[in-house]
């Protein structure tokens, strides 16, 4: 408790000592347009998000976010897990994820709307995240007093600090990684992946003369469309 406070205090002191000159200088040095916000830079300034930054880069979500923020019509809220949040995960958790799951995990921490702290009180649950919505991607936010609690069905935590906020982007620190049910609970059985073979055949069916290719459902549809297209062509020619 105490060391953490001291750390925060010294950080604030560092910030106070070093930042005003930098802030005062930059408008003079760069009268050019300030450019869009850079999420990576915001997190780097926060000082304790190196794992999350690494994940953002690895999944190219940083590029996506910066692109979205370049359009002032887009607003974004990020629940950024601190490095200690990642280090308290069961070891090997991140390494066990596929690239797609890593992207989903990152996107699950990003809400495509601007949530100021007062909006937390009126937000309607569950929130939609960049990873999507629905029962397996549930993210609920509730407030009690000054605390903003977050639950995913697997993770309970609360917002532990505000890293950045303007009217377009809000970045809050969380000290637990928000685990979506979708990645960390067994998937419900999915129907057998049938479309593999017909897909290959439909390529061959590009030449409509080969009658052997009519066997697959997909290629049959393709053939039908070719016939339909042909009929339209004929109709178009006659209507001229
Ligand atoms: C954002 O900031 C990071 C680190 O400060 C930098 O590597 C990256 O090139 C910047 N991206 C853009 C789009 O400016
Ligand atoms: C932001 O958008 C403008 C206009 O669409 C574009 O010219 C500019 O290159 C973009 N900047 C970045 C950093 O993506
Ligand atoms: C929010 O979390 C705090 C502890 O972090 C807990 O005491 C409180 O009951 C929680 N509130 C709700 C509504 O879940
Ligand atoms: C989230 O909120 C919705 C609506 O209030 C509720 O149905 C759902 O059970 C909640 N999920 C979790 C994980 O708390
Ligand atoms: C999260 O909190 C809810 C009620 O506040 C509780 O029922 C649930 O067991 C908690 N889940 C975890 C993983 O701590």
Cis peptide before 126 (omega within 30 of 0): yes
For residues 82 and 168, the answer to whether their CB atoms sit within 8 Å is no
Q: Is the residue at 169 inside a domain?
A: yes
Evaluate whether residue 202 is within a structural domain: no
Please report, for the domain that includes residue 67, its CATH number: 2.30.180.10
**Predicted confidence (pLDDT) per residue in 101-128, tens digit:** 999 999 999 999 999 988 999 999 999 9
Contact between 124 and 141 under an 8 Å Cβ cutoff? The reply is no
Inter-residue contact 154 to 185 (CB < 8 Å): yes
Look up the pTM and report it: 0.71
Question: What six digits make up the tokens of 116?
Answer: 């100021």
Please say whether the beta carbons of 80 and 171 come within 8 A: yes
Q: Are 62 and 110 contacting, i.e. CB atoms less than 8 angstroms apart?
A: no
Q: Is the CB of 71 under 6 A from ligand 2?
A: no
In ligand 5, the atom with minimum distance to the C-alpha of 155 is 13
How much of the chain is in helix, strand and coil states, percent to nearest 5?
A: 50, 15, 35
pLDDT tens digits, 59-86: 999 999 999 999 999 999 999 999 999 9
Q: Which of 6, 10, 13, 75 is nearest to 39 (CA)?
A: 75
The response to whether residue 38 sits with its C-beta less than 6 Å from ligand 2 reads no
Among 70, 72, 168, which residue has the most ligand 2 atoms within 8 Å of its CB, making it the best to mutate?
A: 70
In this structure, is residue 76 part of a structural domain?
Answer: yes
Per-residue pLDDT tens digits for 2-29: 455 444 545 444 444 444 444 444 444 4
92, part of any domain: yes
Q: Whose CA is nearest to atom 8 of ligand 3?
A: 144
Q: Is residue 79 part of a domain?
A: yes
> What's the structural domain count of the chain?
1
Q: Which pLDDT does position 26 carry in this prediction? A: 40
For ligand 3, what atom is nearest to the CA of residue 142?
13
| 32 in any annotated domain | no
The answer as to whether 176 is a domain residue is yes
In a domain, 20, yes or no: no
Domain that holds residue 49: 39-184
What is the average pLDDT score of the chain? Answer: 77
């Amino acid at each position: 408790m105490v060391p953490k406070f001291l750390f925060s205090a010294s950080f604030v002191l560092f910030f106070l000592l070093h930042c005003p000159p930098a802030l005062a200088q930059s408008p003079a040095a760069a009268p050019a347009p300030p450019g869009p916000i850079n999420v990576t830079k915001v997190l780097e300034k926060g000082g304790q998000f190196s794992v999350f930054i690494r994940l953002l880069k690895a999944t190219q979500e940083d590029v996506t976010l910066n692109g979205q923020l370049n359009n002032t019509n887009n607003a974004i809220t990020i629940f950024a897990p601190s490095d200690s949040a990642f280090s308290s995960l069961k070891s090997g958790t991140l390494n066990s994820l596929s690239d797609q799951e890593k992207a989903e995990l990152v996107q699950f921490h990003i809400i495509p709307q601007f949530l100021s702290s007062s909006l937390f009180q009126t937000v309607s649950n569950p929130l939609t995240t960049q990873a999507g919505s629905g029962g397996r991607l549930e993210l609920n936010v509730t407030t009690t007093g000054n605390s903003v609690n977050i639950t995913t069905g697997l993770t309970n935590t609360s917002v532990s600090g505000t890293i950045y906020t303007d009217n377009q982007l809000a970045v809050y620190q969380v000290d637990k990684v928000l685990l979506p049910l979708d990645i960390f609970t067994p998937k419900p059985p999915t129907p057998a992946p049938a479309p593999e073979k017909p897909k290959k055949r439909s390529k061959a069916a590009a030449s409509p003369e080969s009658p052997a290719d009519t066997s697959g459902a997909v290629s049959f549809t393709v053939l039908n469309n070719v016939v339909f297209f042909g009929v339209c062509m004929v109709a178009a020619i006659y209507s001229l």
